[in-house]
Amino acid sequence: MPDRRSAMKVIVGSVIAIPALLSEQAMAQAAPAAKTLRLVTPELTMLTSAFNTAGPIYQVSAKVFDGLVDYDFDFNMTPQLATSWDVSKDQRTITFNLRDGVKWHDGKPFTSSDVAWSAMNVWKVAHPRGRATFEDLTSVDTPNELMAVFKFSKPAPVSLMAFHSAESQILPRHLYEGTDLATNPRNVAPVGTGPFRFVGWERGSAVTLEKNPEYWDKSKPLVDRVVIRTIPDAAARSVAFEAQEVDLGGSMPVALSDARRLKDLPQFVIPDKGFEAFAAQAWIEFNVRRPELRDVRVRQAIAHALDKNFMVRAIWLGFGTVATGPISTALKQFYSKDVKTYAFNIEQANKLLDDAGYKRGANGIRFKITHDPLPIAEFYFRTGEYFKQALQKIGIDVELRTQDYATWIKRIYTDNDFDSQNATSYNLPDPSMGVKRYFWSKNIAKGVPFSNGSGYSNPAVDALLESAQVENDAAKRVEQFASFQRIVTEELPQITIADIQWFQLESRRVRGAANGPYGMHGNLAGVSFA
Amino acid sequence: MARMGCTATWPASALPDIVKNSRIWRLLLSRLGRSAVIVAGILVVNFSLLHLAPGDAVSVLAGESGGADKEYVDRLRETYGLGRSLPEQLIAYAKGLLRFDLGWSFRNNTSVSELIWSRVPATLLLVGASVSVAVFIGVVLGVASSRRPNSATDNVISVVSLLAYATPAFWLGLMLIVLFSLKLGWLPTGGFRSADLDLRGFAAAVDIARHAVLPILTLSMFYSAIYARLTRASMLELAQFDYVRTAYAKGLSERAVRYRHVLRNALLPLATLLGIQFGSLLGGAIVIEMVFSWPGLGRLAFEAIMARDMNVLLGILFLSSLLVVFINIAVDMVYAILDPRIRAH
């Protein structure tokens, strides 16, 4: 039967031969051009974070757009588009002196009018949190092309932490003024001032950037091209790293179990810094509108029932440290040790619940609550599972619920139809930016994600948060935040579990990608290969 | 109308006859008319069903941005037109469709048609190649195993088909990546092409082919198994028919009977199945597209669902419903070509 045999041979042969043949081609081209930096992110939807701060955009856009300033690890401003600055004594006026001769990637000069227009028409209007950060900004004066004077109606300590490019991006006025911000074609083909200019974007595959030959720092950037591959699936990102197809990824690019495995391989490094500007924390939040959870003793009992050390070890696989309160240790100047802590102690937890009047029923159950983990990564589900087990020991029955992201947001922040939930959030460089939103009663805002979902309201806390927003005296601000931490760790609308190492994963060949608190979210002008 | 197409004999040359055959044209017209109604119905059902999902595009966007304030969220809902009632939104959408305008994706900052169009080449390559490979392998294996039922060959092919049929695609995909990309280092782990290499011409085509091998292999595995089983069953069934015995009796060789008489008729149910599956293949490739980061329509649809990007999702669903409808019409026409009797009734 020659016909059948030969057909079989063709099939079997081609299954084996096609990959093999193609692989010869592969050998010839396996090594990328030596100076191409290959990034990986989840799916991108646009390429400027001036008014959309979604994680992947935040990771990419600062390569194309420089900011007014950069920050060092102590959150001091360092020069970028501004060479120097002056903050008035009352912190109501910030004067930036801009770098001379900087050009947009289309050749037009970059001037103070770009800064003024972006601040007043983008940051204050269309940025998700810019309105809060620059609430008291009344005008940006431009006495000349190289001077931008920010005028505030009240002292503005918070804005000083927000001039990084990823957070407050300056758009080219000549391409945006008079257009509809939401549909401007430059949102997906950006023209910036940064070390890399936009070349092309194949949606669903990759964004290509190339070295900006006119960059103001003539010695940089150190690589010729940056290719950003978009890979939506964390497991697929992990194999792309392992096959050495990508060099760098930020904001926990792979599953924790993969990260732990990869970091032990000689090809990879996970730096222990480069994420301080996010100061991520993991927490469990209560809906304090619910009858049982309204009682602070119940919330404290639950805190006593959770073994945070175990959670950091088994759920976060060591990528973090046990947290004491709602401000991360990464924000060195604001973190306070002087707070109420809750030792892992089941007896005490049971006693608190007994005192609160929730006796165990015949089945050993005191009452029942629901728990909704943020449904986007495995550690939230693990946290939920642990929460259920831990609370079983103190007679609280937990019903775990799952749903998709949009449904979860609606449940927590629009319908408030939950008892407890767990998620992570960024403190950001200043607690007024990233922490205030969860505890300030005026931020109980239906339909607004990551607002005050717990319904927690304490006039003393409101007063502290509001004063800190406009406090001129740095020492006083620190004190206000210390009092804030003391009160909320006592009242526990949220139990903070851990300060998370929101790490980036690097090929060992990469140098200089973690040299600031924004890590790979910075402009990468100084990144090179070993 | 005279039954001019009524002929029970296999025509010497099928095509000219078909072009002349008015029944086929009437069939096509009536099918097209019916399809317009079906597509409109699908649109209304899709629109209503999708809006049953809790949450909207703005809350997802604001959530991904790490939070926002009330004004920001309200402003975006206004911009996106989410403040209007559902019937108003549906009418606005339908009006757009009549102008061939699929709308704007605020999430992706681009028009829906551009977004979908950019995913078409990769989708067609993946689905087209997978179907072709699956049909080829399926038919070859099916014919081979139907030659001697329950022989060693048949049993081996049956077991292999069963395995291929039962293996989850994502697992198979991952295992192929582990073997060919990580262990052997022959093929890339995913993506459509090497964006970091500046390839042109033939080298670029080879690069895309290298990226396509594993996704096509994974996707076609499952379908080859189905087609192999189907071909085998049809071949065995048809071999019992009188016309086959007649063919043998008039002294035709086994080969001639097998391929000209049995296989040709055995392909009919395969064509039916292909027509039904082509639509689901477009969507069913989601898992493959996720595992291999393949920039296809399935992934776009999945992301649109998660992000409540309704315009994109409606656009994809609308176009795939069109495609399925037209493919089914095409399948009807193919029947008519494969089997003259269908024309007659």
Across the interface, whether the CB atoms of A225 and B147 are under 8 A apart is answered no
Q: Is A322 helix (H, G, I), strand (E, B) or coil?
A: strand
- In angstroms, the separation between the Cα of residue A83 and the nearest Cα of chain B is 30
Residue B227's contacts (CB-CB under 8 Å, 6 or more residues apart) are B134, B135, B137, B138, B139, B142, B270, B273
Whether B144 and B157 have beta carbons less than 8 Å apart is answered as: yes
Across the interface, whether the CB atoms of B189 and A240 are under 8 A apart is answered yes
- In angstroms, the separation between the Cα of residue B339 and the nearest Cα of chain A is 27
Across the interface, whether the CB atoms of B210 and A22 are under 8 A apart is answered yes
Whether A399 and A370 have beta carbons less than 8 Å apart is answered as: yes
Whether A98 and A115 have beta carbons less than 8 Å apart is answered as: yes
The closest CB to that of B188, out of A52, A245, A403, belongs to: A245
Say if B113 falls within a structural domain: no
Across the interface, whether the CB atoms of B196 and A127 are under 8 A apart is answered no
Interface probe with A: pick from B56, B61, B65, B310, most Cβ of A within 10 Å: B65
Pairwise pLDDT comparison (A449 vs B326), residue with the higher score:
A449
Whether B173 and A180 have beta carbons less than 8 Å apart is answered as: no
- In angstroms, the separation between the Cα of residue A49 and the nearest Cα of chain B is 9
- Judged against a pLDDT cut of 70, whether residue A17 lies above it is answered with no
Q: How confident is the model at residue B342 (pLDDT cuts 50, 70, 90)?
A: low
Rounded to 5 degrees, what are φ and ψ at A320? 160, 175
Instruction: Report the alpha-carbon distance of residue A122 to residue A131 in Å, rounded.
Output: 9
Across the interface, whether the CB atoms of B59 and A242 are under 8 A apart is answered no
Across the interface, whether the CB atoms of A233 and B213 are under 8 A apart is answered no
Say if B283 falls within a structural domain: yes
Say if B5 falls within a structural domain: no
Q: How confident is the model at residue A229 (pLDDT cuts 50, 70, 90)?
A: very high
State which amino acid sits at residue B132. Answer: S
Question: Residues of B with CB below 8 A from A243's CB?
Answer: 181-182, 185, 188-189
Q: Note the pLDDT tens digit of each residue in A378-391.
A: 999 999 999 999 99
Give the pTM.
Answer: 0.87
Question: Residues of A with CB below 8 A from B199's CB?
Answer: 29
CATH topology assigned to domain A69-173: Dipeptide-binding Protein; domain 1 (3.90.76)
- Judged against a pLDDT cut of 70, whether residue A27 lies above it is answered with no
Instruction: Report the alpha-carbon distance of residue B343 to residue B337 in Å, rounded.
Output: 8
Q: Average per-residue pLDDT in chain B?
A: 84
- Judged against a pLDDT cut of 90, whether residue A102 lies above it is answered with yes
Q: How confident is the model at residue B9 (pLDDT cuts 50, 70, 90)?
A: very low
Across the interface, whether the CB atoms of B54 and A407 are under 8 A apart is answered yes
Pairwise pLDDT comparison (A504 vs A17), residue with the higher score:
A504
Per CATH, is A4-66+176-262 categorized as 3.40.190.10? yes
> For chain A, what percent of residues have pLDDT higher than 90?
92
Q: Note the pLDDT tens digit of each residue in B327-336.
A: 878 877 777 7
Question: Residues of A with CB below 8 A from B62's CB?
Answer: 128, 448-450
- CATH number for the domain harbouring residue B174: 1.10.3720.10
- Judged against a pLDDT cut of 80, whether residue A6 lies above it is answered with no
Q: How confident is the model at residue A154 (pLDDT cuts 50, 70, 90)?
A: very high
> For chain A, what percent of residues have pLDDT higher than 70?
94
Across the interface, whether the CB atoms of A33 and B306 are under 8 A apart is answered no
Whether B28 and B329 have beta carbons less than 8 Å apart is answered as: yes
- Judged against a pLDDT cut of 50, whether residue B4 lies above it is answered with no
- Judged against a pLDDT cut of 90, whether residue A116 lies above it is answered with yes
Instruction: Report the alpha-carbon distance of residue B235 to residue A250 in Å, rounded.
Output: 56
Q: What end-to-end distance do the CA atoms of chain B give, in Å?
A: 13
Across the interface, whether the CB atoms of A239 and B300 are under 8 A apart is answered no
- Judged against a pLDDT cut of 90, whether residue A215 lies above it is answered with yes
Q: How confident is the model at residue B10 (pLDDT cuts 50, 70, 90)?
A: very low
- In angstroms, the separation between the Cα of residue A450 and the nearest Cα of chain B is 5
Across the interface, whether the CB atoms of A183 and B192 are under 8 A apart is answered no
**What is the per-residue DSSP string for A421-483?**
EEEEEE--SSHHHHTHHHH-GGG--TT-TTS--S----HHHHHHHHHHHT---HHHHHHHHHH
Say if B68 falls within a structural domain: no
Token duo for residue A503: 């790490």
Q: What end-to-end distance do the CA atoms of chain A give, in Å?
A: 60
At residue B19, the pLDDT reads 60
Q: How confident is the model at residue A73 (pLDDT cuts 50, 70, 90)?
A: very high
Instruction: Report the alpha-carbon distance of residue B220 to residue B45 in Å, rounded.
Output: 31
Q: How confident is the model at residue A28 (pLDDT cuts 50, 70, 90)?
A: very low
**CATH homologous superfamily, domain A280-500:** Dipeptide-binding Protein; Domain 3 (3.10.105.10)
- Judged against a pLDDT cut of 50, whether residue A528 lies above it is answered with yes
Instruction: Report the alpha-carbon distance of residue A191 to residue A45 in Å, rounded.
Output: 16
- Count of the separate structural domains present in chain B: 1
**Neighbour count for residue B304 (Cβ, 10 Å):** 25
- In angstroms, the separation between the Cα of residue B84 and the nearest Cα of chain A is 17
Instruction: Report the alpha-carbon distance of residue A437 to residue A452 in Å, rounded.
Output: 6
Question: Residues of A with CB below 8 A from B308's CB?
Answer: 406
At residue A9, the pLDDT reads 54
- Judged against a pLDDT cut of 60, whether residue B1 lies above it is answered with no
The closest CB to that of A45, out of B62, B109, B118, belongs to: B109
Say if B324 falls within a structural domain: yes
- Judged against a pLDDT cut of 60, whether residue A22 lies above it is answered with no
- In angstroms, the separation between the Cα of residue A145 and the nearest Cα of chain B is 31
- Prior bond of A221 cis (ω within 30°): yes
At residue A278, the pLDDT reads 94
Question: Residues of B with CB below 8 A from A8's CB?
Answer: 140, 144
Token duo for residue A210: 């190339």
At residue B327, the pLDDT reads 80
Question: Residues of B with CB below 8 A from A203's CB?
Answer: 108, 115, 118-119, 295
ipTM: 0.84
User: Is the torsion defined by CA of B115, B209, B186, A199 positive or negative?
Assistant: negative
- Judged against a pLDDT cut of 60, whether residue B8 lies above it is answered with no
Across the interface, whether the CB atoms of B62 and A128 are under 8 A apart is answered yes
Number of A to B CB contacts under 8 A, please give it: 229
- In angstroms, the separation between the Cα of residue A87 and the nearest Cα of chain B is 28
Q: Note the pLDDT tens digit of each residue in A254-302.
A: 999 999 999 999 999 999 999 999 999 999 999 999 999 999 999 999 9
The closest CB to that of A206, out of B59, B66, B195, belongs to: B195
- Judged against a pLDDT cut of 50, whether residue A2 lies above it is answered with no
Interface probe with B: pick from A27, A61, A203, most Cβ of B within 10 Å: A203
- Judged against a pLDDT cut of 80, whether residue B285 lies above it is answered with yes
What average pLDDT does range A10-24 have in this prediction?
A: 52
Per-residue burial over A110-119, b = 16 or more CB atoms within 10 Å of its CB, e = otherwise: bbbbbbbbbb
- In angstroms, the separation between the Cα of residue A109 and the nearest Cα of chain B is 26
Lowest mean pLDDT: which of A251-265, A357-371, B245-259? B245-259
* Residue B71: C-alpha distances to residues A125, A360, B58, B68 (Å): 9, 46, 12, 8
At residue B3, the pLDDT reads 38
Across the interface, whether the CB atoms of A232 and B70 are under 8 A apart is answered no
- Judged against a pLDDT cut of 60, whether residue A354 lies above it is answered with yes
Q: What is the 3-state secondary structure (H, E, C) of A245-294?
A: CCCEECCCCCCHHHHHHHHCCCCEECCCCCCCCCCEEEEEEECCCCHHHH
Instruction: Report the alpha-carbon distance of residue A403 to residue A410 in Å, rounded.
Output: 11
Question: Which residues constitute the domain of residue B232?
Answer: 119-337
The closest CB to that of B182, out of A126, A243, A406, belongs to: A243
Across the interface, whether the CB atoms of B59 and A447 are under 8 A apart is answered yes
Lowest mean pLDDT: which of A78-92, A229-243, B46-60? B46-60
- In angstroms, the separation between the Cα of residue A146 and the nearest Cα of chain B is 31
Across the interface, whether the CB atoms of A405 and B63 are under 8 A apart is answered yes
Interface probe with B: pick from A36, A45, A60, A223, most Cβ of B within 10 Å: A45
Q: How confident is the model at residue B276 (pLDDT cuts 50, 70, 90)?
A: confident
- Judged against a pLDDT cut of 70, whether residue B45 lies above it is answered with yes
Q: Average per-residue pLDDT in chain A?
A: 92
Instruction: Report the alpha-carbon distance of residue A107 to residue A191 in Å, rounded.
Output: 10
Question: Residues of B with CB below 8 A from A449's CB?
Answer: 59, 62-63, 67-68
Say if B327 falls within a structural domain: yes
Across the interface, whether the CB atoms of A29 and B75 are under 8 A apart is answered no
Interface probe with B: pick from A12, A405, A412, A418, most Cβ of B within 10 Å: A405
Q: How confident is the model at residue A223 (pLDDT cuts 50, 70, 90)?
A: very high
Across the interface, whether the CB atoms of A22 and B209 are under 8 A apart is answered yes
Lowest mean pLDDT: which of A134-143, A185-194, B88-97? B88-97
Question: Residues of A with CB below 8 A from B69's CB?
Answer: 128-129, 131-132, 443, 445, 448, 451
Instruction: Report the alpha-carbon distance of residue A70 to residue A522 in Å, rounded.
Output: 8
Pairwise pLDDT comparison (B190 vs B341), residue with the higher score:
B190
DSSP β-bridge partners for residue A79: A69
Per-residue burial over A453-490, b = 16 or more CB atoms within 10 Å of its CB, e = otherwise: bbbbebeebbebbeebbbbeeeeebeebbbbbbbebbe
Lowest mean pLDDT: which of A107-111, A357-361, B33-37, B299-303? B33-37
- In angstroms, the separation between the Cα of residue A376 and the nearest Cα of chain B is 11
Question: Residues of A with CB below 8 A from B198's CB?
Answer: 33
Show me where the domains of chain A are located. Answer: 4-66+176-262, 69-173, 280-500
Across the interface, whether the CB atoms of A128 and B72 are under 8 A apart is answered yes
Interface probe with B: pick from A224, A233, A258, A509, most Cβ of B within 10 Å: A233
